[in-house]
Structure 1
């Protein structure tokens, strides 16, 4: 819906414009029209609406149009503003250029000019939306892959609701033997089952990932892998995650889908091993991340007792527990940017015939591997990498930096960078980036004559609205209020 607000103290003009737009212009898109006879009425409308186009007179009783325009720009509303003016007022109206006015329309209003103005504003909105949706699509990928919050990525609940109109979310991960050049057939197939699908061809991971949104909770058709094989024309592994009613869980859903693909790959159709691994995944991770050895030992024993179905286990049964455990750790660390630390998984030595012997051997392996990994986090190693990351962000804060950019600059895996930065600084790289931008913006607000919109773009934000939201989050005041206090 394209929203228009018309502000003028003449009833005849308001009614005439509304009639032309609704009844004569035959616009190729739906339009909502609000009218106001004065500035206070217009400001009341703006409390509940954000029009795409505001058409306003300048000379009006009570308050003139510049008061309204100033309020619109102070609030960083993204509306196009068109001024209605007579020939006598034209020079006066030119002063409005500093408010980034879109256009002027001379009175009496020409129908063709008004229609052209509306069409141009609509086209601008569509261009903005197209650009914005591409940005949202890229940010959703970051949210999917790296467990970064939607708020850090500037994805508001309103944006997420627009992208995902249905209740439930499922992530599909497809690992094809031959990566397809075109994925349209896959998208068409999935649309038979899901209301909305966003596709991410991740060739470097050999993954085709779909974030699916749907109204029915359980959608996991058994025939889907076969149909995908027919659509793609290549053998593939397919992992379909559990479903969630929260878009903020999509990283967990992605990991769940990857887990299913991983089990199919490493266990090569051994359903018994795959079920054992899937059943114990969270327990395995809890054991591995435990820092106190006594607690780790107790948790490991409890875990093995829980899956202990026989008193005298066979060699095959012990190997099944052993292999599924360390494959789970491989998957967990791979997702953290540390690929295959237990690859190949060592063979279970001869002489291990009981659950207690198995537990002791596994514990020794875990402790040995964790000691090796600690070297990656030693202070002497952390300082140069952390300094390199911070300097890179400081030098490039105006750009739309991604984890992939940081990874390329340092030579580390994006997942490793994400976890490293959070572990060593206590905040995500995006939080650090926002704070760096805000620090520069504060200097510009207090010492330059740049408009807020200009400052927003100088420090790396796409719009003054986006900038104002982030500024208020970190400084608890709007950019304009900060400027008034510090100028």
Structure 2
């Protein structure tokens, strides 16, 4: 609704004007009346009118003087004069103040209505222009923000093969950074962003991004001369600070953990922060960005909510800590020997991930593939009887682990998968078969040193030999004889490591009367003879 101020020294005319027209029908509200220009100026500041309807002749300050004062105040206020015939020449000279029109006394409703229509037309046009201008400014501001983000992403991620005029870039982006000074860069990285931030609706993601920016800038402001914060990737936010001196920097660094806690409190997301070292020239921003990206990726090993300082990372040799094929085979043998409920299985998985944890050079992709390798091999013995379920679960597992960038979470995903698989097998239609195979494994574990035939084992389980052989192969992926040989070889290795018995005695101890045949079986599974194994392990 447009606001109207009436100025006239005649009380009757002032009140008459206020009541002459149903102003609300014109979307107009009378916000005040005054008896002269001086009084009107006081009301002007307080009421901010869109229209001033003023007499020409008034004491103290007339309408012409008032209109000049109004124009000093605003060029948008619509001025309409009220005048008599003897004032027309004087009034025409005063229309340089861009008044809308004038109305002659005595006032007529039709004259006032005609002028009002013109006033409202001008006001509507003015409001439309202002709205359009505001929208344009908002679009330009948004476009500039998007341009700044896009350009900064390109600047920090580019390989540096092209020359960059940094002063030109800073001016273009309206970033108030000097070319040289004291700079610090850090990256906020959402932990497991695909599994957390990625599950939220787009509007919620935008809200969280905005809140994180607000909290980050609130923390930075007291310590930075200038700064720029931008989204450098999904779930990754980069900030460049230009600070004044070392004291300001130290004070800011001390509050990094507070920033993590604050973000967690307002977004319920865990974040890790990679902090770079100070640099003295803005053209080093690209080099520092890549250093910090590599640092923050170390959260893979450090875990959630980590603060990682790029200058304090130690370099390790990758080759010495990658899990070996024999360690993987050990896990698979444990699963085939003792099943998915084996405590040794979980201990072996922990050892494998511990090896990965020691390696600070593997990528998240390498670790995810190791997790997938474990569950594929662990599921293999049960694929024949549970193929549809396992295929569905393996696909779900890969989707899950692909969304993780923390090693501990990857290990928990492996544990969860194997636990669910074990539960499903026990509760599934083949539960009876699973129990039979478990019983058979226990018999072999206790009687491996005896002469065991499939017929003997069939009697123990009250099943036909052929049926038992088929069932065991379906459940475990290996034959009964292969399983028995592996158990005997593992027991033989333990005896070799723990005692100084002769090969012939070891052969008898694990159920082989013929030492030559025992040697042949041992070599098939270990790649070396019992003597070579003993000499290698116990020189």
| TM range, smaller chain | 0.3 to 0.5
Alignment TM-score, normalising by the size of structure 1: 0.37
Structure number, greater radius of gyration: 2
Alignment TM-score, normalising by the size of structure 2: 0.34
Higher normalized helix content (fraction of residues): 2
